[in-house]
Amino acid sequence: MNSDKKSKNMPDFTWGEALCYSEQMDHLQPEYVSHLNPRQKEAVLTTTGPVSVLAGAGSGKTAVLTTRIYHLIRQGVPADKILAVTFTNKAAREMRERLMQRLPDSPLPFVATFHGLGRELLQTYGSVIGVPRYFSIFDRDDSKSAIREALKAMDVDPKEVPPNAILSRISKAKGEGQTLAQFREKHGRESFRSRITADAWTRYEETLKKEKSLDFDDLIVLPMHLLRDHQDIRAKVQERFHYLHIDEYQDTNELQGKLAQYIAGDRRNIFVVGDIDQSIYTWRGATIDNLLKFEETYEGAQHIVLEHNYRSTKTIVEAANQIIEHNKNRKEKHAVTNNADGERITIHPAMNAEAEGLWIARECRRLIERGTKPEEIAVLFRTNFQSRGLEEAFLACNIPYKLLGTRFFDRKEVKDVLAWIRLALEPDREADRMRAVQSPPRGIGKVTLGKLVAGKRDELRAADKAKVDSFEAVVQGLRSLAETSLPSAFVKLVIEKSGMESALLKEGEDGQERLENVKELATLASRHDELPGMEGIAAFLADAALAGDQDEMDRPQGIEGSDRKEKKPGVTLMTVHAAKGLEFDAVFVTGLEEGLFPHEGMGNDEERDEEEERRLFYVAITRAKKRLFLTLAHIRRIYGTDFMSEPSQFIRDIDPGLTHFVDAGAFGPEEIIEA
């Protein structure tokens, strides 16, 4: 598609007449849209009815979203009537920060992820379906543990029937809107695994109810059922939010699409931004049909295409076009840019994965020595197993890095403090009680814990009962403090009064570092200090449970300075999936070999899988602003076996005039291009 092609609701002028028309219209438009291009202005100023914006990589969609919200407020729409939904906490924070800059003394709209929106709806209206106001949220590890315990209670060996597989099937069913009863009716007699899943699901739901908790899937399916089945609640939500904005709409699943419809209601003021070419989560249930069929779902919807790329060089933009235009299941879009041509794309074929990692690490050092900031460099890989070799290379070359994957909130000491906080809000949570009573250890053994769980408190010995009473007194004291404390202050009180601070200080340098981790929780909790007592603490707990990989972006790992407290900024190592929505000056895309990237064995629908792999590569290369490096290995060891690799077809899809080979000892350029 030519970048100058008119949107369907632009007047049918010649290009010269259109320029005159545009200049005339500029006098009628507010000053705060003057920095936008014509298509962006159209998106901002189209404020009523359903609107879909097809936004290419680097096309300024966040600027469009925030400017449109600002425009609505300037036009007199109250901020609390506006809802904006994103897909990561990081994106939601960035949008709030941009709006705060424009509206420093004004209230802000409600900006959240889909899961954050679900939490808000359930916390506000969920009592009608039995959801407690201060519910806890099970993260993936909590859910796996609950499933494992359910299987054990059923005399099923978790080694024979992996909890992960059962949880994935339950999650898939919930994501499709199925209830436990519906799943049992449909699948309960199909196979042994289906019967096991249904029985484990039953026990899992009992655990959630006992712990007054929900899991991630509940945060979508329950609000959808709530609005579908309760007209009065639906009317309240529709009156609360008159304008709905959804970012990354191509990543929504069927339930999220329905939830959006219920919120939009008869006003139909729904504004969605998405890019089918960046749909990379169908394996999680996302469906590009929500975006492809938007005009069918919302009759009369306006469709606007943003094709101007402000991020990348012409070389990178043209390579991205050449890659994605091989896909058929997409909407027409051809990116253009006024940026400089930039450097050609570097291709480095290494002999093996170790040599690939060392070359990348040394090239990163060269970039840093020439002025590129470490945090402006990213190394992307298709699968997690590739990270080990890359980490070893960066350690060997003494280059600071941060690996996204081990989330801050997954660390033991952090989960211990969160268990204490949840227990203070709701003392009946058995799983949190069992964790907190051992963090730090206070001489209460497994036998005593077993009697407490079984309700046999009266059988405890006097010494054991005294220890339990002391522990419960701490919990009750914290519960009282929670009613009046700011979230940040409460976190500090928990760390102190639980005994964790003094216990960690006794563990030397490692304990000191773990103590710094838990103290960081107080900093994160301070974001909610404007909310009173338990409400603010509950909001902080929800943020912790819903944190994603990109929330780790500001936490460097790897090489540290002489003072362990002072961590250097580092090169980011992460999967391509985790890189979605980010951008860097220099990007390395690794492992470009057939079977690895594109990855094989992704599912049964070969055509869709092939297109998704291509979309994933498109996402990877469009993260780069100035420099792009593509690397591959001739030999790669996978699960202990060496495999001879063939170059990825993706490399051959790029015009050789846009690339150049460096140290091409393993593969010659002709071998790759002609393979």
Active site residues: 61-62, 247-248, 278, 623
> If we measure between CA atoms, which residue out of 387, 433, 441 comes closest to residue 571?
387
Choose among 135, 197, 624, 214: nearest CA to 380: 624
| Structural contact between residues 622 and 59, judged by C-beta atoms closer than 8 angstroms | no
- The neighbour count for residue 663, using CB atoms within 10 Å, is 13
Alpha carbons 141 and 161: distance in angstroms, whole number? 17
Q: How far is CA 103 from CA 44, 90, 92, 97, in A?
A: 17, 20, 16, 10
Type of residue found at 450: G
Q: Is the peptide bond before 598 cis (omega within 30 degrees of 0)?
A: yes
Q: Tokens 């879909």 belong to which residue?
A: 52
- In degrees and rounded to multiples of 5, residue 119 shows phi and psi of -60, -45
Beta strand 345-352 with 213-215: parallel, antiparallel or unpaired? Answer: unpaired
List, in order, residues 6 or more apart from 276 with CB less than 8 Å away. 54, 250, 288, 291, 292, 329, 330, 331, 615
Q: Which of 160, 115, 152, 377 shows the shortest CA–CA distance to 252?
A: 115
Phi and psi at residue 110, to the nearest 5°: -80, 115
**Which residue type does 276 have?**
I
In sequence order, which residues have a C-beta less than 8 Å from that of residue 580 and are 6 or more positions away? 278, 280, 619
CA 134 to CA 213: how far, in whole Å? 9
Other Cβ atoms less than 10 A from the Cβ of 428: the count is: 10
Q: 440: cis peptide before it, omega within 30°?
A: yes
Residues 620, 382 contacting (CB under 8 angstroms): no
Give CA–CA dist 410/544, Å, rounded: 10
First to last CA, the chain: 30
Q: How far is CA 572 from CA 12, 44, 410, 579, in A?
A: 48, 34, 19, 10
Whether residue 294 contacts residue 301, with contact meaning beta carbons closer than 8 Å, is answered with: yes
Measured over the CA atoms of residue 46, residue 48, residue 51 and residue 53, the dihedral's sign is positive
C-alpha angle with apex 612: 345 to 353, nearest 5 degrees?
A: 50
Q: Quick one: DSSP state of residue 624? A: E
